[in-house]
Structure 1
Amino acid sequence: MNKSTLRWKLLKSILFTALFTGILYFLFVQIGLFLHPGFVSLWFSLLSPLFVMLLVIVLGSYFSYKDTLSIRNRLEDISTQIITLSRGRFTEKIKLTEEDEIGRISFELNELTDKLQKQVTSLQNLANQKADLAEKARGAAIIEERQRLARDLHDAVSQQLFALNMMSSASIKMMDRDIETAKSQMVDVADLASKAQVEMRALLLHLRPIHLSEDTLCVGIRKLVDELEKKSGVTFHLTLDELPELPGGIEENLFRIVQESLGNALRHAEASVIRITVKLKKKQFSLHIKDNGKGFEMNENKKGAYGLDSMQERSDEIGGQFRVSSRPDEGTLVEVRVPLEG
């Protein structure tokens, strides 16, 4: 038995109590024999203290076991509640049974749960308000997005097209002199053209509207995947639970995270298979996006390059938990968990 547990400490107290009781009883019997010789037999005076000690140990152990069992169960409820809170589920509470010290701790923990739930609700309300404000500022955002797209087109696709032009021109000139070298250069041209095509599809993905219009989140994801599957050649596997009606701000941020993640998988990961899972369990929404791409080393520079900071901010705005795990040659996993109210 672990000597630091509550039961061991209680058992140790019972053993000391039994020993002390047996000694007192033995002294009491000896005083009785001294004052009244023949009061009890010698064997009784020697064995009865042992019987009393055994009785104290048995009864004490029985009642302490019952009491500590109840205390242990209540402490385990508190431990389970703390783990539940750490996982972002703020709807479950501890059942209050007694108004003692543990009961007061349980009550305070339930109060903390309510406060956390209210904070999450406030964050989600702010996200909805921000979505309304974002709608009004969409004109400016469109201009900014066009400027960003122009930069990306210049930095990536435009340079690749320039390289294609130069390489194809060189191959045409080389055909008359060295046909094998020309063939090798044309293979490089085809490879570069394929990369430029993937780059363009990823950029076009970011041109999609960040709002879902009249579609639900799951319908929007299915439409997005259907379009990408036809154009990119990537295989998608969808597992989408039926969801209740979600506030617009939450759906828009989650959809934008999906867009950003899929864009990364197409543009950087060179993935051939992408799995998207949406689940709802005990008022806890979870989104998993897993690809089999080339992965990357997790560090601050990569986070900024792949737009992970933006996805983290969107998750924070709706009171969610965002996590990315990736290793070279092992693909990338994006996870978002959001507690839902009511």
Structure 2
Amino acid sequence: MLSILAQHAAIALTNARLYERSRELTIAGERARLAHELHDAVSQKLFSLRLTAQAATALVDRDPDRAKDELQQIALLAAEATDELRSAVVELRPAALDEDGLVATLRTQVQVLDRAHSAQVTFACHGVRALPAAQEGAVLRVAQEALHNALRHADARQVDVTLTRHGQGARLRVADDGTGFDPSAVRRAGRHLGLVSMRDRAGGVGGRLTVESAPGKGTVIEMEVPGG
């Protein structure tokens, strides 16, 4: 009898430990996901704000009217950043997606970067259907991170964003003519330029991410999601 009780106690203790470990992993996963959301929501908008502010500063003397337009854009971006941050904390979903959808939201963000940056940034969309909410959020965040890398780190002069239908889902492609890099060297050096975040986002919605790059050859990032 004592042996049976001891076995039951051991099983109960093991189950309790497994439950606690599972809870810890869940909390850690949520923290990592929230960290990604906060990073994307804040850094991408601040990057756009900085570029627009630089454009406004350059235009103040020679073209006050255009400078005024850029200042109005800064106010709009600041309001969007507030909404994005609130959305990241409360819903973990980019705010504009609920109102405008993935295609319109991505097109707007590309247009903002094209206006604010000396590089040419283009967007094209072909036959994309509405995706599950989680997949749309992941696609948008990966696109933002890829654009951020191309414009801030790669010194690109041309960045092309394409969203196309892929089976029941979609394929995102962000290609730039920037400095490029060696993906394996980046991993060895412990620098990831957001690649870990992008891979996590793709994998988290059942998709996959591929990165093609080489020094002096630009970078192509593709993400495929399965749809619903």
Is TM more than 0.5 here? yes
2:211 is equivalent to residue 306 of structure 1: no
Alpha-carbon shift at residue 329 of structure 1 (Å):
0.7
Alpha-carbon distance change, 230 to 321 in structure 1, aligned in 2, over 3 angstroms: same
Find the aligned partners of 2:210 and 2:190 in 1 and give their Cα distance: 12
User: Which residue is equivalent to 2:177?
Assistant: 292
* Paired residues of 1:303 and 1:309 also in contact (CA < 8 A): no
User: Which residue is equivalent to 1:254?
Assistant: 139
Query: Which of residues 315, 324, 332 is equivalent to 2:202?
Result: 315
Alpha-carbon shift at residue 214 of structure 1 (Å):
1.0
User: Which residue is equivalent to 1:218?
Assistant: 103
Query: Which of residues 121, 128, 134 is equivalent to 1:236?
Result: 121
Alpha-carbon shift at residue 302 of structure 1 (Å):
5.9
The equivalences for 1:91-106 within 5 A come to none
2:221 is equivalent to residue 334 of structure 1: yes
User: Which residue is equivalent to 1:273?
Assistant: 158
Matched to 2:155, the amino acid is: E
* Paired residues of 1:240 and 1:278 also in contact (CA < 8 A): yes
Alpha-carbon distance change, 322 to 215 in structure 1, aligned in 2, over 3 angstroms: same
SS at match of 1:249: helix
The equivalences for 1:81-230 within 5 A come to 145=39, 209=84, 211=94, 212-230=97-115
Alpha-carbon shift at residue 234 of structure 1 (Å):
1.6
Find the aligned partners of 1:251 and 1:292 in 2 and give their Cα distance: 26
Matched to 1:282, the amino acid is: G
Deviations 1:71-119 (A, max 9, x none): xxxxxxxxxxxxxxxxxxxxxxxxxxxxxxxxxxxxxxxxxxxxxxxxx
SS at match of 1:293: coil
Find the aligned partners of 2:169 and 2:218 in 1 and give their Cα distance: 26
Find the aligned partners of 1:266 and 1:284 in 2 and give their Cα distance: 27
Q: Which runs of 5+ in 1 are unaligned?
A: 1-129, 158-203
**Bigger fraction of residues in strand:** 2
Find the aligned partners of 1:274 and 1:339 in 2 and give their Cα distance: 25
Deviations 1:216-248 (A, max 9, x none): 111011100111111112212322024222221
TM-score (norm 2): 0.58
Alpha-carbon distance change, 302 to 232 in structure 1, aligned in 2, over 3 angstroms: farther
SS at match of 2:114: helix
Alpha-carbon distance change, 220 to 329 in structure 1, aligned in 2, over 3 angstroms: same
* Paired residues of 1:260 and 1:307 also in contact (CA < 8 A): yes
Alpha-carbon distance change, 297 to 269 in structure 1, aligned in 2, over 3 angstroms: same
User: Which residue is equivalent to 2:130?
Assistant: 245
SS at match of 1:214: helix
Matched to 1:258, the amino acid is: A
SS at match of 1:334: strand
SS at match of 1:216: helix
Matched to 1:285, the amino acid is: A
* Paired residues of 1:318 and 1:338 also in contact (CA < 8 A): yes
User: Which residue is equivalent to 1:111?
Assistant: none
Q: Which runs of 5+ in 2 are unaligned?
A: 1-25, 51-77, 85-92
Which one has more relative contact order, counting CA pairs under 8 Å at least 6 apart?
Answer: 2
Matched to 2:129, the amino acid is: P
**Bigger fraction of residues in helix:** 1
Alpha-carbon shift at residue 303 of structure 1 (Å):
7.0
Find the aligned partners of 2:39 and 2:161 in 1 and give their Cα distance: 26
Root-mean-square deviation over aligned CA pairs:
3.3
* Paired residues of 2:131 and 2:169 also in contact (CA < 8 A): no
User: Which residue is equivalent to 1:283?
Assistant: 168
Query: Percent identity over the alignment?
Result: 29
* Paired residues of 1:291 and 1:331 also in contact (CA < 8 A): yes
| Equivalences, count | 151
